[in-house]
């Protein structure tokens, strides 16, 4: 039957192979956890950047509106041109909404890309771990049966 003539070397070999497999699985899980932490950090960074950009857009809109209202107050009262200022204000608001929508779409794409990459890395790590486990078990059985 092969290379193992007593139970002691076989038991030692089984124990050693099991320990290697267990260590590899623990290492894989640790790498998966690190990847998950990195994914969460990237998503948190995107959220913070999105809030900062939204606040900046709101501040820019507020400044533009204040400038138009000040100009309207200075010149519009005498000329009666309040309609054009209202149209400009509405245009600024519409542009700010469109910029916000574009930024939200870009942020959603970045989130999706980060999540897809993290899922791919996790799947790849799990497949590598499974392949390594199968290879170790095949090597052990080959050695046991005297083939290797």
The pLDDT assigned to 76 comes to 54
For residues 91 and 77, the answer to whether their CB atoms sit within 8 Å is no
Instruction: Quote the DSSP letter at residue 145.
Output: T
For residues 119 and 35, the answer to whether their CB atoms sit within 8 Å is no
Q: pLDDT digit string (tens) for 7-33?
A: 667 777 778 888 888 888 899 999 999
- In-domain check, residue 14: yes
Beta strands in the chain (DSSP E): none
- In-domain check, residue 48: yes
What token pair was written down for 94? 């519409």
The pLDDT assigned to 5 comes to 61
- In-domain check, residue 51: yes
- Quote the CA–CA distance of 84 and 57 in Å, as a whole number: 23
- In-domain check, residue 148: no
- Quote the CA–CA distance of 139 and 134 in Å, as a whole number: 8
**Which has more pLDDT, 140 or 94?**
94
Question: Is residue 109 very low, low, confident or very high in pLDDT (cuts 50, 70, 90)?
Answer: very high
Summary mean pLDDT of the chain: 84
Q: pLDDT digit string (tens) for 48-88?
A: 999 999 999 999 999 988 888 887 766 655 455 556 777 77
- Quote the CA–CA distance of 28 and 15 in Å, as a whole number: 20
Domain assignment of residue 106, given as a range: 7-143
| pTM across the whole model | 0.65
The pLDDT assigned to 132 comes to 84
- In-domain check, residue 2: no
The total of structural domains in the chain comes to 1
- In-domain check, residue 80: yes
């Amino acid at each position: 039957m092969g290379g193992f003539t007593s139970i002691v070397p076989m038991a030692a070999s089984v124990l050693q192979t099991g320990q290697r497999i267990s260590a590899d699985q623990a290492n894989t899980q640790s790498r998966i956890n690190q990847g998950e932490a990195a994914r969460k950090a990237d998503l948190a960074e995107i959220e913070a950047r999105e809030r900062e950009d939204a606040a900046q857009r709101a501040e820019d809109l507020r400044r533009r509106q204040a400038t138009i209202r000040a100009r309207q107050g200075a010149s519009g009262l005498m000329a009666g041109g309040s309609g054009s200022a209202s149209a400009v204000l509405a245009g600024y608001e519409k542009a700010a909404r469109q910029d916000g929508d574009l930024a939200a779409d870009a942020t959603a794409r970045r989130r999706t890309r980060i999540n897809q990459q993290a899922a791919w890395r996790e799947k790849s790590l799990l497949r590598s771990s499974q392949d390594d486990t199968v290879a170790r078990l095949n090597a052990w059985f080959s050695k046991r049966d005297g083939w290797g």
